Amino acid sequence: MLELSLVQKISIWVMPVVLAITVHEVSHGWIARKLGDNTAFMLGRLTLNPFKHIDPVGTILIPGMLLLLQAGFLFGYAKPVPINWRNLHKPKRDMALVAAAGPGANLLMAIAWALLVRMGLLLGESGIALVYMGVAGITINIILMVLNLLPLPPLDGGRVMTGLLPGPWAYQFSRIEPYGFFILIGLLVTGILGMVLWPVISVVMSMVVPVSGLSAQKFQLLLLGLMGR
């Protein structure tokens, strides 16, 4: 395993993080358009241009600080794509489908990054950068997918849950949304969030990593090298 400098680590993480966040948001808007809402399209948000989606805090500051502090985990977010539920064909059902599109896109990207790792392995030493970048891509996409599926408004999982619940229950559940971010921070600080998410992340990793051609142990070693551990 190569000893990476901080600059190398950041340069490896930049593209996977930006793509994970950007494609996640674009997928929401793309599905919304298919279901009748053109709001994101009209505002120019159905683009892979990251500058249209970057949130200075969530896309740059938070991931950057976590890398600099070698926190051992990575997290970020983009500006939410605007959705007008009134334009959707079947608002309650369609909002759940729009919400599910983001985590679904992250799963597909994790698999794509795994295939890139396999390509890098075939190239030998000249493909080591692809391998490291692919490991980063698999990791950030699976983390974002599982985190966003947490059934807590305003996360995607909360919106999916709202779409699945009967009307009165859905209304009561949706009232949590103004407090959702503070609940999420509380779960993170107390360690409960990690206890809930990491077992699920590990299961998804165990299904995606073999696609890359790496053993679980080798993947873990490469990831530890990227996270500064």
Active site residues: 25
9: CB partners within 8 A, 6+ apart: 67, 226, 228
DSSP state letters, the chain: -----HHHHHHHHHHHHHHHHHHHHHHHHHHHHHTT--HHHHTT-SS--GGGT--IIIIIIHHHHHHHTT-S------PPPP--GGGSSSHHHHHHHHHHHHHHHHHHHHHHHHHHHHHHHHTGGGGHHHHHHHHHHHHHHHHHHHHHTSS-TTSHHHHHHHHHS-HHHHHHHHTTHHHHHHHHHHHHHHTHHHHHHHHHHHHHHHHHHHHHT--HHHHHHHHHHHHT-
CB atoms within 10 A of CB 90: 12
Q: For CA atoms 191, 192, 193, 196, give the dihedral sign.
A: positive
Query: Which residue's structure tokens are 């999982």?
Result: 157
Give the chain's length. 229
